[in-house]
Structures are given as structure tokens and as C-alpha cells.
Amino acid sequence: MKFLLLLRPVNLLIIALTMYMTKIYIVEAVLTGSFLFENLSDIYQLPENYELNFFLLVMMMVLLAAGGNIINDYFDVRADRINKPKKTYIDYHVSRKTAIIAHVLFTGAAILISFYLWFATGNYQFTLFALVIALLLWIYSVFLKRKFLIGNLSIAVLTGIVPYISYLYFLPILSQFENTSLDFTMGNLTFKLVPMYDTIVFVGIFSALAFLINLVREIIKDIYDIIGDRRVGSKTMPIVIGVYATKIITSLLILFIVTIFSFPIMMWPQIVGIKVVFIPFIMMIVLLLITMFLLIAAREKDKYKYSSFTLKLTMLYGLFLPMIINSGVNDL
């Protein structure tokens, strides 16, 4: 049981859900919505083992993340004993030897899957990404985690590319519609969709938001972990520039994300009348602002748990946002 907790199963589930949300409610939704079909197979002859290969792609990412979680905890035992003694599993419940073996097995399995996907789909980028991600997770755990901002950016980038890796799977399909342009109606708004390009725009926005929200999350975690990080010689943002300055920078990041969600409403005021789009956007803005206010108000270590909790709610809501909006639009 403790070994499973070491893998951080909730985080692994979020990765899997992110990839399926990208698949079903962004890429497939754009294609089927543009062509007014219910199923992708109605407009395109799907490759052999279409669903199985995508599932294996998801497993590749989940296994890479599991291996990364293990090696991160392996090199972070000293700080974890101070910051979260009840959630330190290596040395107490899992031996260091077992942890290293598990890391190698999970990462190795992910790389083997990537080679199969290269062979099955002809896309070498799956293997390239698997090798780069595995290497970056190791470098992060050993060197980057304790560096000023670089560690935060590393994890945020790795999180942000998850939707893009899902998008890569659909390139052969999307390339068939490179010169296709169709009108798409949503309420009283009409958009001209070019599936090949609009899909990467939507996926890019999803990836950018995942990057920014996780960057905020990583910085808040550094504030919470400042005592243990300082004792092991880390140079995280709160240690280098102070907690107060870090909270200001984090609040500005949150306001930037709020601006992103406000932009469509300002650009297309008609969206206000389309509740299925307007209300989810407003909910995200409210959750982000609550997180910011709780962060600013926090003075003691335990108080940062509240801003961390609301940010997790925001991330979870944001994860399902494509599904919520897509389902609402289909009912118009």
C-alpha cells in the first residue's frame, strides 16, 4: 500500500484523464463538430488498433511519471523528513534498492512502449519524447529541483506537454483536413474552423494553462516546504527572494491566468449569453481569485494548505473544462 502511495496515483490518474480529455473533447470534438458527424469513423478511416495504441500512449506517459515520482522521492528523502514526515515512504516503508529497481522498471517499460508506438504508427516523436522526459525527470530530481525557478519551470513544462503528446497521435488524421475550412455555430456566434490548425490552437491553450497553473502550484509548494528545503541547501524562490516577494510574483501569475480566461469574454461579449461557455469560464476565474486571496492572507505554514487545496480544485475543474464546455455546446 505504501509503495502505491509512493507512485502518487492521483497524479497519475490526472495525467491519464488529461490525455483522454484532449482526445475526446478537443481533437475529436473539433473534427466531428466541424463535419457534423457523431463519430470520427464517419469521416475518416481510423488506423488499425486506434484505441489500443492511444491507450498505450497514455500508459507510456503514466509509467514515465510513476518512475519520475519514485526517483524524485529517492533524492528528496532528507527534505521530506522535515517537510512531510508522514508522507516519506523511502527508507521507512520502501527500501532504496526497491525504489531504484521500480524506477528502472517503470521507465524502461515506458520506453519499450514508445518504441512499439514508433513501429505501429511510424511516428518517431513518441520515442524521442519518452527518452527526453525520462532524462529530464532524472536531471530534475538530482540537480534542478533545488535551483531557483528552474525546477519549477521544468515540472510545469513537463506537465504542459501532456496534451500536446495526445495531439501528436492525431497528426495523420488532422493532416488530411489541412485545407478544409467549415463554419461552426455556437449559439448566436459563428466561427470558421480549420480543423488542422484550430485543433493545435485549442490544445496549445490547454497546454499553456496546464503549464501556468502547475507553475503556480510548484511555487506554492516551495513556500510550504521552505524549512526543509533551506536545511538541505536548496535555492528555491522563497529562500532566495523571500516569501513576501514570492507571494507577489505568484499572485501576478494567477492574475495573468485570470486574464486569459477573461479574454474570450472581452473579445466576444455575446458569450455572456451562452451560459454553457460563460459560466465555466467565470467559475475558473472565481476559483483562481480565491486561491490568490488565500495565498496572500496566509502567514503560517499550515495556512498555505488552504491555497494549495483551492488550487487543486481549480486544476481538477480545469481538467474537465473541455468536457463541460463541449457537452454544453452540443446541447445548444
Query: Which residues form the domain of 227?
Result: 2-330
pLDDT in tens, the chain (332 residues): 678 878 899 999 999 999 999 998 888 888 776 554 556 666 667 778 889 999 999 999 999 999 999 998 888 888 777 877 777 778 677 888 988 999 999 999 999 999 999 999 999 999 999 999 999 999 999 989 889 999 999 999 999 999 999 999 988 888 877 777 666 665 556 666 777 777 888 899 899 999 999 999 999 999 988 988 898 888 999 999 999 999 999 999 999 999 988 877 676 656 555 666 778 888 999 999 999 999 999 888 778 888 988 999 999 999 988 888 776 665 55
CB 95 within 8 A of CB 101: no
Total count of domains within the chain = 1
The Cα 257–Cα 252 span in angstroms is 9
| Contact (Cβ atoms closer than 8 angstroms) between residue 64 and residue 130 | yes
What grid cell was written down for 57? 500512449
- Angle (deg, nearest 10), helices 9-22 and 195-224: 160
The C-alpha cell of 239 is what? Answer: 529562500
24 in Cβ contact with 169 (< 8 Å): no
pTM score of the predicted model:
0.90
